[in-house]
C-alpha cells in the first residue's frame, strides 16, 4: 500500500491537496494510506519550506502549491501495476 503524506498546517490548499489525492486513488482503484502532517518541525524535517507538500513512500514529490489532478493520478498509480 502506498503511503502518502500531505505536509501543511491545515490551510485550504492543504485540504484541497488531500482531496485531490484521495479522489485520484479512488478513481484508480488504488488503496493508499493518506496522512496529514501539520507539525511544523516534521514538515521542515522533509526540507519543505512552502506548503502544501506531498511525500510519497518517504520521498518529497511536490511542494509549494496545489498539485494538478494528473500529478496526483501519477503518484497513486506509480508502481501500482507491478505491486501484485
Could you give the domains of the chain? 2-77 (3.40.30.10)
CB 8 within 8 A of CB 17: yes
* One pLDDT digit (tens) per residue for the chain, 84 residues: 999 999 999 999 999 999 999 999 999 999 999 999 999 999 999 999 999 999 999 999 999 999 999 999 999 998 655 433
Beta bridge partners of 32: 2
Q: Is 24 tagged catalytic?
A: no
Catalytic residue status for 76: no
Catalytic residue among 11, 26, 42, 83: 11
For 78, residues 6+ apart whose C-beta sits below 8 A from its C-beta are 2, 56
Q: Are strands 53-56 and 59-63 parallel, antiparallel or unpaired?
A: antiparallel
- Are the C-beta atoms of 27 and 57 separated by less than 8 Å? no
pTM score: 0.91
Active-site residue (options: 4, 6, 7, 14) = 14
Amino acid at each position: 500500500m502506498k503511503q502518502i503524506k500531505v505536509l501543511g498546517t491545515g490551510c485550504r490548499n492543504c485540504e484541497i491537496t488531500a482531496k485531490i489525492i484521495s479522489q485520484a486513488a479512488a478513481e484508480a482503484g488504488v488503496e493508499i494510506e493518506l496522512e496529514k502532517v501539520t507539525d511544523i518541525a516534521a514538515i521542515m524535517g522533509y526540507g519543505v519550506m512552502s506548503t502544501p507538500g506531498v511525500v510519497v513512500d518517504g520521498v518529497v514529490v511536490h511542494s509549494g502549491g496545489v498539485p494538478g489532478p494528473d500529478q496526483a493520478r501519477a503518484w497513486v498509480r506509480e508502481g501500482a501495476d507491478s505491486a501484485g
